[in-house]
Amino acid sequence: MYRAYSSLLLYSDLGEESILQALAEIIRDLNEGVEPKERLRNRTFVQVKRLLDLATSFGFDENLWANYLTFLLMTNENSFSLSCERIGAREGSVNHFALQDFSIFHTLFHYDFSRLEWELGMDCFEVLKNYQAIPKRERHYYKAVSDKVQTLSRLLLAAKDEHQIFDLMTRHYQDVGVGTFGLHRAFRIRETDGDLHFLPINNTDRVLLSDLVGYEIQKKQLRDNTEAFLEGRAANNVLLYGDSGTGKSSSVKALINEYYDRGLRMIELYKHQFGALSQVIAETKNRNYRFIFFIDDLSFEENEVEYKYLKALIEGGVETRPDNILIYATSNRRHLIRETWRDRNDTEFTGEIHRSDTVEEKLSLSARFGVQINYSIPNREQFRAMVLHLAQKHGIALPEETLLAEANRWELRHGGISGRTAQQFINALAGKQNIP
């Protein structure tokens, strides 16, 4: 195994201390007799535990060794896999090296661990290749990733040679993509010592636009702009503004569920991260996905200047915004930067000569969102429709008259009429009736 692992070229960068590298070194040390078997046994158990931990995180099942190798192939970003993501398989010299690596992976998929197990007195790998996972709730693991890995794993395990693996992987890279962007739909970012990391969001809301009662005009505006974006047509940045609890954030989150399979990805950003926008753009602009940078509850106080980063990104910086990036923001304010009467007071001396310039500076950010969609508080009839729809969706069995009377009492005690209030009321009812 060590000779095979060390011969990888395109897929040689598997991260520091990968499980594959560690196992290859254990088998090398066993063959060379340079370390006591007891220590080799302990080292092997460490890697088996890592495999089991990975399987638990992603819900792997059946052949964990094949799942792991498939996961490596799906997530390794190299010149070949990234090129296949962008333009698919093409004739070129790089295919020669890819076939060599896939030949090695074909050997690894069918590697016989029996000698290692016999020498070290263990039977771990026989169990790992015929694994039965304990059923878990979907929110406790990356189910979407698990399904992709296991489906492709079965195909790769059945492949006759490196040419079939080549066909399977190039098709996967073009259809799904490579790396974390290919596996996940939504992300947060984290900066560590100057390095940018994209953290997948596992428990995304399952909401669809059809789940949001009312706001048909608003949803159509949002859908039309997003579909134009996905089809490569001209599209605008979007500001959803209005009363709290009316479904602004849920509408944006629904898009990732509606259009994930068409290459839409979402990156959630916070104000304090705007300084990293240029780095986020650099990591996403050449990928074969369409990215929505989602900024929830956006607003700025008078002394906050982070909005200047956002203005430069939307329009006005030296580097133009890439075609595969749009910004969708929600806010309770239409004018995102807080104004004061002092900004408009021409009689009070504040040291500012060109007062109109100050006002224009503060209004210019919201003006740069080409689509501005208003979400206002629903009327009572719309609120009742929301309650009835959500009750039916959750399987709550109550007479309509009783349900609506309870809903009216609830909203009087819990902040008034809104979609959020309706959902919270239904959640409370479902909890009382022991409905998941």
Residue with tokens 């196992």: 23
Domain limits, the chain: 2-183, 200-375, 380-432
Residue 54, burial from CB neighbour count under 10 angstroms (0-12, 13-18, 19+)? middle
Check: CATH 3.40.50.150 for 200-375? no
Per-residue model confidence as pLDDT tens for the chain (436 residues): 888 889 999 999 987 789 999 999 999 999 999 899 999 999 999 999 999 998 888 888 889 999 999 999 999 999 999 999 988 888 888 999 999 999 999 999 999 999 999 999 998 998 999 888 776 665 555 677 888 999 999 999 999 999 999 999 999 999 999 999 988 899 999 988 878 999 998 777 888 998 888 899 999 999 999 999 999 999 999 999 988 888 899 999 999 999 998 999 999 998 888 888 888 999 999 899 999 999 998 876 666 666 677 777 776 555 667 899 999 999 887 665 555 445 445 544 455 444 444 445 555 667 778 899 999 888 888 888 888 888 888 888 888 888 889 888 888 888 788 888 888 888 888 888 776 6
What's the pLDDT score for residue 347?
Answer: 46
